[in-house]
Amino acid sequence: MEKSLPLHQLHANSFAIIINRSHSFLHFIAILFLLHYRLSFFFQTTTIPTLPWLLIFASELLLSLSWLLSQSYRWRPVYRTVFPERLPGDDELPGIDVFICTADPDKEPTVEVMNTVISALAMDYPPEKLHVYVSDDAGSDATLRCTKVAWEFATCWVPFCRKYGIDTGCPEVYFSSLEDDDGEFKAEREKMEQKYEVLKQRIKTIIQHRDVVSPSTYARDHPAIIEVINEYPKEEMQQVKLPLLVYVSREKRPSHHHNFKAGALNVLLRVSATMSNSPYILVLDCDMYCNDPTSARQAMCYYCDPRTPPSIAFVLFPQTFRNIGEDDIYDSEMRSIFKIYWHGLDGVGGTILSGCNFYIKREALLGNFSKQEDLVTLRRWFGPSNDFIKTLVEDHTPNSITDEESSRMLLEEANVLASCSYENQTAWGSEVGFLYFSVVEDYFTGYTLHRKGWKSVYLNPKRPQVLGTSTTNFNDLSVQWTRWTAGIVQIAISRFCPLICGPLKMSLVHFMCYLGLTLEPLLFCFSLWGFALVPQLCLFNGIPLYPKVSDPNFNIFSIIFVSAVSKSFYEIVVASGGELRAWRNEWRIWMMKAVTSYTYGSLEAVLNKLGMKQASFSPTNKVTDVEQVKLYEKGVFDFRAATMFLAPLVTVILVNIAALVGHFVRCLVVDGDGDGYWEKMAGQMFLSIYILVSNYAVIEGMIIRRDKASIPLSVTLLSGVFSVFILLIGSAILC
């Protein structure tokens, strides 16, 4: 009877569906009235210049288009429940390969990386069916040595977790928590904590004595290094059953493009195929440790259920973070993405592949072939390795390591598969594996899978399955979002744009989701720059762009503004359980990103398209800065960022201040219309005041604060020059 029960359930949020669709209908009607008002201008005789009217109309159209596409996320939000206790016995569970990627030991602390490795080894899954692969793109000898000492610690840590039912596989987090224990367990816990302190000290010593003179140069030029860490365990360790642990550093040469993270993942695909060839793969970032050891069993509820269609390509868990402050000023939690957008995507065809924390079917990436498949065709697609091609055939089990000779032969083949020239003249990165076209390989790969008819699942249980660290300063946030924006816009302006490369087997609503995500940076960038400058320049020069307060048409803009703000409040505060300040912070950081990260990322993608700039990938800095963390926890912005990110923010603030000052001077000194003039300019006054109030943190950083993390005076002066230029040139052109 137990086997007849379903392993998972899907729940459509009927109340949210009614709210979302009703709001969409009413808001859309208001937008139609706005369009009518703007278009009627061209059939009237007026003294208002045409250019500023066209620009603000274009900004409103772009923002309205973005809103329209975003309604696809809200069309049918769903939630899922799994029942891992109903899974079959351990002997019937499929194998899982875990891929952990690290690229820069200077930006990604090795202690955190090793904690992630140890947590993967401690997962609640049959150890003989779990295989962990660590990809070190820096080729660091220190990382290899640290992986070995981490495995030695795991031989004690994993049995400890199994014996006492420890459900936190990350030792750093476990020992950071306060527990009031006594008896035998307390003594064992203290012994284990001492061993962990020894591990951390050993790792720190290894890192301090790295023998590479120039790590940055070596990271771009080194041979392939592959080592099975627990190939020959010590005699006392043979009784401990642990998953296979393999260190992989692919060959990198300056003359070959290494294709960033996607290239590293494809090397892991090939190497793991010859060693374990598990049908399912878990991808983790190096700072994302397994918080719930049962995540593999939860994902298998979809792959092992006979009722589930075989078209499920991947099961995605949300990215959750353990360093989020109470006042999350940078929206590091990305609440809207993981609590609103992805649930909506799941209900219309499947969420996108986003970064890490997903279990993906190997077949979805490589295909499934029979023994009768043409060998020449397979070699043209997958490269010359016969051993790898054998793994593509159904039910093929790779050779196991039984002695030194089999180990030597296997590692020789693995080194060939990890060479930088192996993919030459093959379909890797273009047709098979993780795709290379964009630096956001996850998004592009997921989109391609969905176009081919694959589906995906978004599973967001109450307990976070994976926990990591997020950016907690403005500079790292801006760099990260600039990189993501560049990758997405790179797709938007290419032949792979959803408008051109349309849906083969995707629903219309699912297609709209992808189209909205692809165009979102461009739409926000252009529209918000328009709202930040055009009404202000017209306010400065006494040109009204909105109806008088007494004009019934003024209600159109009021309704649209209140509708958008109230819906956002409902989603963030009411539906998602966020606090009022979380809602405020999300609005503010959205405006900031539009004029910084979205702008620079879009520009970078365009320059890359024109061949004027090479695509780049800089790993997000994961090193903890105590001073930055203190500011973040206090809810104070850290403006120790590149000038390129600060100058646009300060320029927008100065232009808005100048517009308001100019408006007041005009009212008091120049204009004699009195209250009528105030009434005409009320909409633009409100917009400037709203921008200034929402971004008070920038004003505070410019004028009030005098600490090291405030905005430098040089940036303010430079932005002042830009502001004067915009006011003079903009006024001459628009007015």
C-alpha 13/C-alpha 541 separation (Å) is 50
Question: Phi and psi for 96 in degrees, rounded to 5?
Answer: -135, 130
Q: DSSP code of 623?
A: -
Token reading at 167: 């459900």
**Closest CA relative to residue 325, chosen from 619, 623, 116, 637:** 637
**Is 261 within any annotated ligand binding site?**
yes
135 contacts 249 by C-beta, under 8 angstroms: yes
For 677-716, give one letter per residue: b (16+ CB within 10 A) or e. Answer: bebbbbbbbbbbebbbeebebbbebbeebeeebbbbeebb
Annotated catalytic residue: which of 124, 137, 287, 331? 137
Q: What is the pLDDT of residues 196-228, one digit of tens each?
A: 999 999 999 998 887 654 555 566 788 899 999
Residue 398's pLDDT is what?
65
Whole-model pTM: value is 0.92
**Over pLDDT 70: what percentage of the chain?**
92
The ranges of the chain with pLDDT < 70 are 1-4, 178-183, 211-219, 231-239, 394-406, 615-619, 621-622, 670-675
**Is 180 within any annotated ligand binding site?**
no
The torsion angle over the Cα atoms of residues 677, 679, 683 and 684, rounded to 10 degrees, is: 20
Q: Please report whether residue 384 resides in a domain.
A: yes
Q: Please report whether residue 452 resides in a domain.
A: no
Helix and strand totals (H; E) in the chain: 27, 13
Q: Please report whether residue 721 resides in a domain.
A: no
One-letter amino acid for residue 43 of the chain: F
The total domain count for the chain is 1
Annotated catalytic residue: which of 136, 292, 346, 442? 442
Q: Please report whether residue 126 resides in a domain.
A: yes
C-alpha 594/C-alpha 596 separation (Å) is 6
467 contacts 291 by C-beta, under 8 angstroms: yes
Q: What is the pLDDT of residues 4-46, one digit of tens each?
A: 689 999 999 899 999 999 999 999 999 999 999 999 988 887 7
Question: Phi and psi for 456 in degrees, rounded to 5?
Answer: -145, 165
Q: DSSP code of 92?
A: G
Please, what sign has the CA dihedral across residues 515, 521, 526, 527? positive
Q: Please report whether residue 390 resides in a domain.
A: yes
Residue 514's pLDDT is what?
94
Q: Please report whether residue 565 resides in a domain.
A: no
Provide the residue range defining the domain that includes 376. Answer: 95-278+368-420
Q: Please report whether residue 468 resides in a domain.
A: no
474 contacts 695 by C-beta, under 8 angstroms: no
Which residues does residue 280 pair with via DSSP β-bridges, in sequence order? 96, 361
In Å, how far are 16, 420, 599, 665 from 220, measured between CA atoms?
50, 11, 29, 59
Which residues does residue 131 pair with via DSSP β-bridges, in sequence order? 97, 244
In Å, how far are 269, 350, 375 from 128, measured between CA atoms?
19, 31, 31
Cβ-proximal residues to 548 (8 Å cutoff; 6+ apart), any chain: 554, 676, 679, 680, 682
Active site annotation includes 137: yes
Token reading at 393: 């055939």
Residue 2's pLDDT is what?
47
C-alpha 330/C-alpha 385 separation (Å) is 47
Active site annotation includes 442: yes
C-alpha 107/C-alpha 438 separation (Å) is 22
Token reading at 85: 């206790």
Q: What is the pLDDT of residues 247-257, one digit of tens each?
A: 999 999 888 88
Q: Please report whether residue 269 resides in a domain.
A: yes
